[in-house]
Structure formats: structure tokens, C-alpha cells
Amino acid sequence: MSMINYASREINCKLVYYGPGLGGKTTNLEHIYGKVSPNTRGKMISLATETERTLFFDFLPVDLGTIRGFKTRFHLYTVPGQVYYNASRKLILKGVDGIVFVADSQIERAEANVESMQNLYDNMSEYGYDVTKIPFVIQYNKRDLPNAAPVRELQEALNPGWPIEERARQKVTPDPVHVGRNLVEQIDTQWIGRAPYSEAVAIRGDGVFDTLKAVSKMVLKTLS
């Protein structure tokens, strides 16, 4: 979880980009790294495997203000997409403050998306984390491709919702991004909550910062 550096007056928060292989996690981080000011970011570290890379870098947003006099520094990580690197996935998740699940919108990647989402839930559970309570955003990437599945189908498969038992949270919460949709709503007699989602074409940068801002705001809310 977040760590406080009293010497630099900074709160350090860890954001992890999760999802299937070749879904766009690395592309997200590379775009963010290329756009943030060199004066506010650390060096990008790349750990290469045979098929893909795990990336890491940190940056200090200049437009988020302070929390009790502390600035917030975000440390962004990607995880290996391939299942056989699961030990690395679990290690990177340790101490996470916010998660972005990058789904590949292509119809033929549906099974890989579901497998990776289940793997996320399993690994979070091993640490005692509840992915339904931690800051969590889903990004549906590659929306420009002709074989991209409808968002409705992606939502049904990856973001169907989870029961909300706490009475204080049982109230309709409109989705601030998608008009006419709710993040929390009552279906029949059951209250259901869903993760916020965004659509993206990461290779063009579309939706990349929208996703980052969404999860960052959720993390900051937990700190305030």
C-alpha cells in the first residue's frame, strides 16, 4: 500500500497495469512516459522475458495538488501477460494501491481476457486484497479494430458486477463517464457494483490518460 516519504514530503502510490499478453499494457505505459515532463518522471526500467517486457517508472503529477501537505508520486508497473509468468505477476501486485485491467477488445481474445481477469482475482485473494474494494478501472483497448467486440459483450464477460452487502453503499451511483449507466444499481433485489471502464486505442494514445486519471482519482480519494 501507499508509503510516505517524510524527507521529500511525498506519498508513493503503486499502480499496476494487468491483463492478457499483447493487450496494450506496455503501450499504455510507453505513451504515458513519453508525454509526462522529463523533470517529473524517473527512469523507465524494462525487464525483458522471451515474449514481452515488464516495465516500471515513477512520476510526480504537477496538477493533482497536495494531500495534507504531501505530493503524490505514482509508480506505474506492467505485469507479464503470459500465464507461466504468474510468480512475477503476484510479486508485482504486492503493495498495490490501484489496478488498471487492460482488456484486448478483439473477439478472438475473449478467452484470454477472462483467464487473465480470473488470474487477477486469484492473485489478489492470495494477498488478502479485495479487488471489488481497491481502486480498479477496466480499459477496453483496440477499439479501432474491425473485429472489436461490442462494449456490452465485454462488460458482460469482464465487468458483470459484484454484490454489495453494505447498506451505506446501497445507493444508485451514476457512471460519471457513460451517460445512462450506473456504477452501483439495484437489479431485482440485489445491489450490484461495477468497476469504471474506459475505451481506448492505446497505440494512438486515445483513452490512455483518461484511464490513468480515473484510477489516480480513486487512489487519491482513499488517501484523503
Which domains does the chain show, CATH number per domain? 3-159+195-223 (3.40.50.300), 162-194 (no CATH)
- Output the nine-digit C-alpha cell for 57: 517508472
- Say whether pLDDT at 49 is over 80: no
- Say whether pLDDT at 193 is over 70: yes
1: pLDDT confidence band, cut at 50, 70 and 90? low
What digits encode the pLDDT tens for the residues 112-121?
999 999 999 9
149: pLDDT confidence band, cut at 50, 70 and 90? very high
**Which three-class secondary structure string do you get for 6-57?**
CCCCEEEEEEEEECCCCCCHHHHHHHHHHHCCCCCECCCEEEECCCCEEEEE
- Output the nine-digit C-alpha cell for 70: 504531501
Element (H, E) at 173: strand 173-174
209: pLDDT confidence band, cut at 50, 70 and 90? very high
Q: Span 134-143, mean pLDDT?
A: 98
Query: What pTM was estimated for this model as a whole?
Result: 0.94
Residue 167 DSSP label:
G
User: CB-based contacts of 190: which residues, under 8 Å, 6+ apart?
Assistant: 163
